[in-house]
Amino acid sequence: MRRLLPDPADDVDLDEAYALPGPGRLHLRANFVSSTDGAAEVAGRSAGLSSDADHRLFSVLRGLCDVVLVGAGTVRHERYGPARPTPDRRAWRQERGLAAAPPIAVVTSGVDLDLASAFFTEATARPVILTTGAAPATTREDAARVADVVVCGETEVDIGTALQALADRGLTRVLCEGGPHLLGQLVATGRLDELCLSLSPVIAGPERLRIIGGAPLDEPASLELAHVLTADGTLFLRYVVGGRPA
């Protein structure tokens, strides 16, 4: 990838460009892809907006984090499987004191998930289910056989409680991969530290999902542009939330 801003350069080291703070302080990064007209999906999935370079960055960001955070709807619609770093990436992580593969934490109020899917049965890092007391007890018991189940609210998942539950496990560098409703919650509650946005050279047309959903914000969240990279005609924008360190 080439860097366009702030200092133009070729062959950017992505690990360096997207480096995270050390363990300890909770840091939440979101990674999304969007068309040039603001769509987050084509035919219900983000794959139609992605590229080889975007896939590469997706892998790098996963490789840097302690845990991937995702909503249940995204797991279902994007047909999630477990995180599978390459052997080199697994070794890279272990050399830096990270687990060989990051666990994936799923936010779901009712545990409406296929517990027999590869996402659970083939995971090398045990998934975490962040759910509610209103989820059926038998469903939570079934889920506990294939994942760590944490109750983070009575009828809705409280994001602050969920993030604290991850931090209590030493998972402080969090990568959110969607969906729009979850991103909306993170922004509304002031939890988001940075947004990595891949801007695809595609016009998707009207009536598409956007990268953020949920209730309207009381006021816009201010972002500061940290860098702009490019490859395959896609722009890779790294924003930090106003006032937060890059």
Q: Does the pLDDT value for residue 200 go beyond 80?
A: yes
Tokens of 58: 């997706």
How does residue 243 score in pLDDT terms, banded at 50, 70 and 90?
Answer: confident
In whole angstroms, what is the distance from residue 135 CA to residue 205 CA? 37
Mean pLDDT score, 159-167:
98
In whole angstroms, what is the distance from residue 80 CA to residue 82 CA? 7
Percent of the chain with pLDDT over 70: 99
Tokens of 225: 């542009």
Where does 4-51 have alpha helices with state H?
14-17
CB–CB of 131/113 below 8 Å?
Answer: no
Mean pLDDT score, 57-69:
97
Before 180, cis peptide (omega within 30)? no
Ordered domains of the chain (ranges, CATH):
1-13+31-65+179-246 (3.40.430.10), 66-172 (3.40.430.10)
Q: In degrees, to the nearest 5, what angle opens at C-alpha 188 toward C-alphas 206 and 175? A: 85
Mean pLDDT score, 153-177:
97
Task: Indicate the residue type of 82.
Answer: P
Task: Indicate the residue type of 122.
Answer: E
User: Mind listing the pLDDT tens digit for each residue in 174-198?
Assistant: 999 999 999 999 999 999 999 999 9
Reference 107, options 78, 77, 137, 127; nearest CA is 127
Q: What is the pLDDT of residue 22?
A: 86
Q: What is the pLDDT of residue 133?
A: 97
How does residue 246 score in pLDDT terms, banded at 50, 70 and 90?
Answer: low
Q: What is the pLDDT of residue 9?
A: 97
How does residue 24 score in pLDDT terms, banded at 50, 70 and 90?
Answer: confident
How does residue 87 score in pLDDT terms, banded at 50, 70 and 90?
Answer: very high
Q: In degrees, to the nearest 5, what angle opens at C-alpha 48 toward C-alphas 129 and 184? A: 45
Q: State the chain's maximal CA–CA distance in angstroms.
A: 56
